């Protein structure tokens, strides 16, 4: 479970308390419909999706905890295998209300400066307001720049560039420009997309470009070869997110948590960047046997049985989850 940090939860509450739930709920409903129904994709959209203060508040209320959890999860997987990742500067492209800034800063106390490139003024205003409530100085000092990302965009240099839940809203040439720019300007690039087949395909294309630019994959892949997943399967992971009562009432759900499905790639020029294997599914647990579906270091898919007779391994396998490195780093 990725709990939202207390300071972010508080900042969100403070900001959202200013908007009556009766006003927010229909906006959340519309945004859920837009994102699910593909209105958010560039081919079917007229103008930006998040245009008003209420749009920005609704997005932060129902999506920011989930995008925070996904980014935190993916970045921490990369940090596990690349011990020396300690970014001092972050550029968050299409950064919205700053979920990736909060996640990176929580993970790396080394972070000193963060810049968010974002096109929507109300989103920028809310991101700035939330950041004032952060415990981490790097979040409080983050700079939002109003930028319209396009095929001619050039990016400034940063140790880490994040592109989180943005590419699906951009046409292919813009996606390609941003990924190539990111690879040229940063030593580590992290890209996140929804955990859908379409999101996975975009991540695959990004992965190819980052490898072609000379980077190595830190997570999730344990190799830089071709993705072994074929057919109608797709590589994705899940981050469990606590739901606050506001979150539950806005989304009309009753569960105290939700699983944010996401696809991602973190690539880096830092040395030592592979897990031995990556767990691709919830492990299958039977009496005395755990079976792990793995993407292996030699670029294959394998079901690895871990019987109780292999005591240490078995204990570790029982504590291992979908998305973890195997064996544990």
- Positions touching ligand SAM (CB under 6 A) are 48, 50, 63-64, 67, 94-96, 99-100, 118-120, 123, 147-149, 164-166, 169-170
> Looking at beta carbons only, is 178 or 279 nearer to ligand SAM?
178
> Looking at beta carbons only, is 246 or 304 nearer to ligand SAM?
246
> Looking at beta carbons only, is 149 or 265 nearer to ligand SAM?
149
320 phi and psi angles, rounded to 5 deg? -90, 145
Where helices occur in 213-282 by DSSP H, the ranges are 245-251
> Looking at beta carbons only, is 35 or 326 nearer to ligand SAM?
35
* Tokens encoding 152: 């001619």
Classified as helix, coil or strand, 119 is: coil
Shortest spacing between CB 313 and ligand SAM, in angstroms: 36
| Closest to 139 in 3D by CA, of 163, 112, 166 | 112
Shortest spacing between CB 96 and ligand SAM, in angstroms: 3
* Separation between Cα atoms, residue 156 and residue 309, nearest integer Å: 54
Shortest spacing between CB 64 and ligand SAM, in angstroms: 6
Shortest spacing between CB 116 and ligand SAM, in angstroms: 8
Where helices occur in the chain by DSSP H, the ranges are 6-16, 21-37, 53-62, 64-81, 99-107, 121-131, 137-140, 172-185, 197-212, 245-251, 311-318
* Separation between Cα atoms, residue 9 and residue 191, nearest integer Å: 24
> Looking at beta carbons only, is 182 or 290 nearer to ligand SAM?
182
Shortest spacing between CB 60 and ligand SAM, in angstroms: 8
């Amino acid at each position: 479970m990725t709990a939202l940090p207390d300071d972010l939860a508080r900042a969100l509450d403070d900001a959202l308390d200013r908007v009556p739930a009766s006003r927010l709920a229909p906006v959340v409903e519309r945004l859920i419909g837009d994102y699910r129904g593909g209105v958010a994709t560039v081919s079917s959209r007229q103008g930006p999706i998040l245009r008003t203060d209420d749009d920005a508040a609704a997005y932060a209320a129902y999506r920011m905890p989930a995008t925070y959890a996904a980014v935190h999860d993916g970045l921490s997987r990369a940090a596990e295998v690349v011990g020396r990742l300690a970014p001092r500067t972050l550029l968050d492209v299409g950064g919205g209300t700053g979920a990736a800034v909060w996640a990176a800063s929580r993970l790396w106390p080394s972070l000193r400066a963060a810049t968010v490139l974002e096109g929507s003024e109300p989103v920028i205003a809310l991101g700035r307001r939330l950041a004032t409530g952060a415990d981490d100085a790097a979040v409080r000092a983050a700079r939002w720049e109003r930028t319209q990302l396009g095929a001619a965009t050039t990016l400034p240099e940063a140790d880490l560039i994040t592109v989180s839940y943005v590419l699906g809203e951009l046409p292919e040439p813009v996606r390609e420009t941003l990924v190539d720019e990111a690879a040229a300007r940063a030593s580590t690039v992290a890209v996140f997309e929804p955990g859908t087949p379409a999101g996975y395909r975009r991540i695959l294309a990004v992965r190819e470009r980052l490898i072609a630019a000379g980077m190595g994959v830190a997570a999730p892949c344990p190799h830089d070869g071709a993705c072994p997943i074929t057919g109608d399967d797709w590589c994705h992971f899940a981050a469990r997110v606590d739901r606050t009562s506001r979150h539950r009432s806005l989304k009309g759900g009753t569960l105290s948590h939700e699983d944010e499905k996401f696809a991602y790639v973190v690539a880096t020029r830092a040395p030592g960047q592979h897990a031995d294997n990556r767990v691709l599914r919830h492990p299958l647990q039977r009496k005395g046997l755990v079976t792990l579906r793995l993407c292996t270091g030699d670029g294959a898919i394998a079901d690895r049985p871990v019987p109780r007779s292999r005591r240490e391994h078995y204990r570790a396998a029982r504590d291992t989850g979908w998305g973890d490195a195997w064996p544990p780093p």
